[in-house]
Every structure is written in structure tokens, then in C-alpha cells.
């Protein structure tokens, strides 16, 4: 890319070429990023985007809800995990969280500050940016429930402010323009008079460890729950727990989780996902829609 050296001199963050993305997603699979950038802060991100706005840009957070294909990702991959991870507590019980913060960290911060509502976030393995983009949720809570406004950035480095009312929010989806990316969100929370948020988080984590393969490489839940049903129950009813394709296997602990071993390729996981969808449709006449997003090339 002709101006990579020029861009490198303009930014403070880490810009590298041909970086393996296996360590930047929770399945530990996938190819390389043509260029990989970790901005120092928001200003650094703005500078970067203003100078690469004609190129392909892909944002990554914790990499928990994506399947990065074996062919890798062309253009620039921007990882916010180590940069946009600050927060601010305002006097009116509002928190501003940056998009690179993990959902677990947000749950812990609000519990420590003695506010309630976001304890459920401890059960979501991703970062806030991805959670906002898919309206992530668990334990009866959804991330947009307490959001009042968000800041976004476009591929040209322009900042946009939007309110919750600007979005159509549905089950595991919102109407987000493909060229916009979340950089922060404001949450309005209530003080916890019972002072039991930490206890609630401990119970959620205990439940999660008992029911999910938390110590193994996965993306979290693979499929959305169909209306009036559960993806895990449908998959389990067909005897597909522990079913394998290559290095990818349906978890024996929770059928809506796919585990990857050290030999797994992204194609193994994708083939297993398609096999499950095919079998469930054949037997139950229900098409399982994925929560996980597929990025990159085969």
C-alpha cells in the first residue's frame, strides 16, 4: 500500500503488516490481517481513519462474536481492545464507557461504584462495541436497555452522536450503517440500595461455569434462539453434542457452543455451523440464524 510509511509516521499507535489474527479472536483461528492497527487513543484513531478513508477497514474488539476466515482480511484491521477502554461516571448517575471495554469489566465497574442494571454483562464474552452492534444480552438483560446515547465514528474519521431513539433495536440486532462503528455509549443507571451487585455477578459467573464451556476456545453462543424455542435444545435433540468436523466440535456441555482445538481451521467451524443448520432444518423445519458474524475471505 503506497502510503503506509506516511501513515505510520502520523500515528502514535501500533501499525503492522501481515499480522496473524489467531490471537485476536476467541476461537483462535483465522488468517492474517493485511494491515493491523492498534490506536493509542481516540485522536489517534481519527488521524488514522482520515488518512486511509479510501481503503477497506474492519473493526475488532475482543473478537468473541466473529469467525475470521482462513484467507484473512484485506485492508486495515483496527483493534480497539487495548485503546478505547476508559470510562467516566457523571454526577447524574450516567456512565460513559468506551467501546473497547470488555462487558465483564463494565459489569465489575458498575458493581464497584454501587450501581445496578448491568450485572448481566458479566456473561457476555465480548467488548462493548460489538455488544452494542448486536444488542447482546443474557440473564434477562439486553445491552441497549440502559443506553441513552452513543458516539460513533465513520470510515473518514468523523464523529457522530446519536440517541437511543435513532435506532431500531431488535433481538440480537440493530439497524447500524455498515460504515459506522461505536466508540462509546452513555448509560443511565440507578444506585443499588441493596448493595448486592457483586453477589449477583458471582452467581451469574457460577451459573455460566456450570453450563458453558468457559475454559475452551469458543465464540459464545453461535446461533440466535428461534421464536418460542432454544437453539441449544434443538441441536441437542438431534444428538449433535460432541459432533465433530475437523478440529471443530459441538460442546458436550452446551449445544449452542462450538469448540475449536489447536488443529481447527475457520473452514472446519463454518462447515460445522452449516451442517447444524442443515440438520435442524431437515428435522425441525427451523432455520437457525447465526449470532456470530463471518469476516474475511476463504
pLDDT tens per residue, range 155-202: 999 999 999 999 999 999 999 998 999 999 999 999 999 999 999 999
pLDDT of residue 97 exceeding 80: yes
What's the rounded Cα separation, in Å, for the pair 168 and 264?
A: 37
pLDDT tens per residue, range 196-227: 999 999 999 999 999 999 999 999 999 999 99
Confidence of residue 1 (pLDDT cuts 50, 70, 90): very low
| Residue 242 annotated to the active site | no
What's the rounded Cα separation, in Å, for the pair 188 and 147?
A: 6
Residue 176 gets the label, from left (phi > 0), alpha (psi -120 to 50) or beta, of beta
What's the rounded Cα separation, in Å, for the pair 188 and 174?
A: 20
What's the rounded Cα separation, in Å, for the pair 57 and 51?
A: 12
- Using CA atoms in the order 192, 193, 194, 195, what is the torsion angle rounded to 10 degrees? 50
- 88: exposed, middle or buried (Cβ count in 10 Å: 0-12, 13-18, 19+): exposed
Q: Domains (ranges, CATH) in the chain?
A: 4-79 (3.30.43.10), 87-197 (3.30.465.10), 214-295 (3.90.78.10)
Unique residue bearing C-alpha cell 473518514: 156
Active-site residue, selected from the candidate residues 172, 188, 203, 289: 172
Active-site residue, selected from the candidate residues 34, 38, 98, 291: 291
| Residue 20 annotated to the active site | no
Q: Which three cell numbers stand for residue 230?
A: 432454544
| Residue 210 annotated to the active site | no
pTM: 0.93
Active-site residue, selected from the candidate residues 221, 251, 265, 266: 221
Amino acid at each position: 500500500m503506497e502510503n503506509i510509511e506516511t501513515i505510520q509516521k502520523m500515528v502514535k499507535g501500533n501499525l503492522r503488516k501481515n499480522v496473524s489474527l489467531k490471537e485476536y479472536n476467541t476461537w483462535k483461528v483465522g488468517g492474517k490481517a493485511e494491515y493491523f492497527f492498534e490506536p493509542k487513543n481516540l485522536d489517534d484513531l481519527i488521524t488514522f481513519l482520515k488518512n486511509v478513508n479510501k481503503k477497506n477497514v474492519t473493526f475488532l474488539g475482543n473478537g468473541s462474536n466473529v469467525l475470521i476466515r482462513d484467507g484473512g482480511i484485506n485492508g486495515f484491521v483496527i483493534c480497539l481492545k487495548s485503546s478505547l477502554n476508559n470510562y467516566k461516571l457523571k454526577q447524574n448517575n450516567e456512565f460513559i464507557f468506551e467501546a473497547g471495554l470488555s462487558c465483564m469489566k463494565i459489569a465489575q465497574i458498575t458493581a464497584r461504584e454501587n450501581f445496578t442494571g448491568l450485572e448481566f454483562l458479566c456473561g457476555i464474552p465480548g467488548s462493548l462495541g460489538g455488544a452494542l452492534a448486536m444488542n447482546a444480552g443474557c440473564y434477562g438483560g439486553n445491552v441497549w436497555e440502559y443506553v441513552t446515547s452513543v458516539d460513533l465514528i465513520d470510515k473518514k474519521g468523523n464523529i457522530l452522536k446519536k440517541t437511543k431513539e435513532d435506532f431500531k433495536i431488535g433481538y440480537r440486532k440493530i439497524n447500524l450503517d455498515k460504515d459506522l462503528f461505536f466508540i462509546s455509549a452513555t448509560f443511565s443507571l440507578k444506585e443499588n440500595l441493596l448493595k448486592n451487585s457483586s453477589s449477583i455477578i458471582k452467581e451469574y459467573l457460577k451459573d455460566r461455569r456450570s453450563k458453558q464451556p468457559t475454559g475452551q476456545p469458543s465464540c459464545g453462543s453461535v446461533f440466535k434462539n428461534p421464536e418460542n424455542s432454544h437453539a441449544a435444545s434443538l441441536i441437542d435433540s438431534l444428538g449433535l453434542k460432541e459432533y465433530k468436523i475437523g478440529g471443530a466440535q459441538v460442546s458436550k456441555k452446551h449445544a449452542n457452543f462450538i469448540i475449536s482445538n489447536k488443529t481447527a481451521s475457520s473452514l472446519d467451524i463454518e462447515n460445522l455451523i452449516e451442517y447444524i443448520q442443515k440438520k435442524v432444518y431437515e428435522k425441525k423445519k427451523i432455520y437457525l440464524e447465526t449470532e456470530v458474524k463471518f469476516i474475511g475471505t476463504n
